[in-house]
Amino acid sequence: MSSIQPRRGRYHPVLREMLAETHLALSNFMVPLFIKAGNDIKNPIPGMPGHFQWSLNLLKDKILALEDSGLKSLLLFGIPHHKDATGSAADHDHGILEEALQAIKSWAPQMFVATDVCFCQYTDHGHCGILNQRQELDNSLSLERIASQALSHAQAGADMVAPSGMLDGAVGAIRATLDHHGFGHLPIMGYTVKYASSLYGPFRQATEGAPKFGDRRSHQADFRNGFEAIREAALDIQEGADILMVKPAHTYLDIIQRLTATFPEMPLAAYHTSGEYAMLQAAIGQGWIQPEAILEVLTAIKRAGARIIISYFAEEMPQLFKRSCL
């Protein structure tokens, strides 16, 4: 009896491809886009080379190019003209995301468009909801505003809403409001386990949503904890989430795998953050690693259990797939 030699399954490229356990596809990816109120805006985002804040009047060609490349799913973030303590622009009929949704659906009706539901970029203090008299985030006071924002997006044409503040009860408040107003079909992608991470810096530049004081540790997960993720996921499922999410992604592969194993019936998304993107881009730019490292990292995220990957590398995937030897 001959000894088992795994290398026999790797010696030929066609056989390697057939035997590969994990395959990335363009259908796995959502493209994050930052839409800024105003005209003729294409602002480069520091820390995120190749990405921009876009005004609507410059966005049409971008959307059509994404669709032509085979990318069919977007996650929109809005940056408004006006900010105040209650984020009043977040659920305005003519708010930046409401107008963006209507425009994108007119240009590319088949594009799947999800929206970020949060208040950090709409408030003058940069926190994810309403503050109390002690200038602390008031979870209960914030839920009504969060649900109102989600409803506004639904009415403007969103295909899915994604509450990103990780406030307790947000998924349930949104589900009840959507159901009550005839949007029971609309899915919710909860930011189920969003860690209070140091890897969001370029994103906060992009959304102009950094907190003016304090931090978000009171309502986002402690990066030292793992079992906490199980409790958060169970709560989101109970409240009506259709898709769970882990953020950051490649720094938290163990959490992705743990949630997939514990809740195999639930689809899982992973957000490959701006900081994770920036680190890879910096190393590639210096020639320290090859661009194919992008595929390696993103494949690891899918191998860990994510079915949806939100990544700033999504736009590069069509070309990476073409030239990759994997």
CA distance 195 to 178: 27
CA dihedral angle for residue 31, residue 37, residue 39, residue 40, rounded to 10 degrees: -40
User: Per-residue pLDDT averaged across 172-180, rounded?
Assistant: 98
Q: Assess whether pLDDT exceeds 60 at residue 325.
A: no
The model's pLDDT over 232-265, given as tens digits with 9 standing for 90+, comes to 999 999 999 999 999 999 999 999 999 999 999 9
User: Do the beta carbons of residue 46 and residue 205 sit within 8 Å?
Assistant: yes
Q: Which residues are catalytic?
A: 194, 247
pTM of the entire structure? 0.94
The span from the CA of 55 to the CA of 60, in Å, is 10
Can you tell me the mean pLDDT for 20-45? 96
Tokens standing for residue 111: 């594009």
For residue 248, say if its preceding peptide bond is cis, omega within 30 degrees of 0: yes
* DSSP per-residue codes, 27-50: GGEEEEEEEESSSS-EEEPTTSTT
Domain definitions of the chain by residue range: 22-238
CATH number of the 22-238 domain: 3.20.20.70
The distance from CA 137 to its chain's CA centroid, rounded to whole angstroms, is 22
Structure tokens at 124: 């003058």
Are the C-beta atoms of 153 and 98 separated by less than 8 Å? Answer: yes
Which residue in 305, 196, 220, 322 sits closest to 255, CA to CA?
305
Per DSSP, 79 falls in state: E
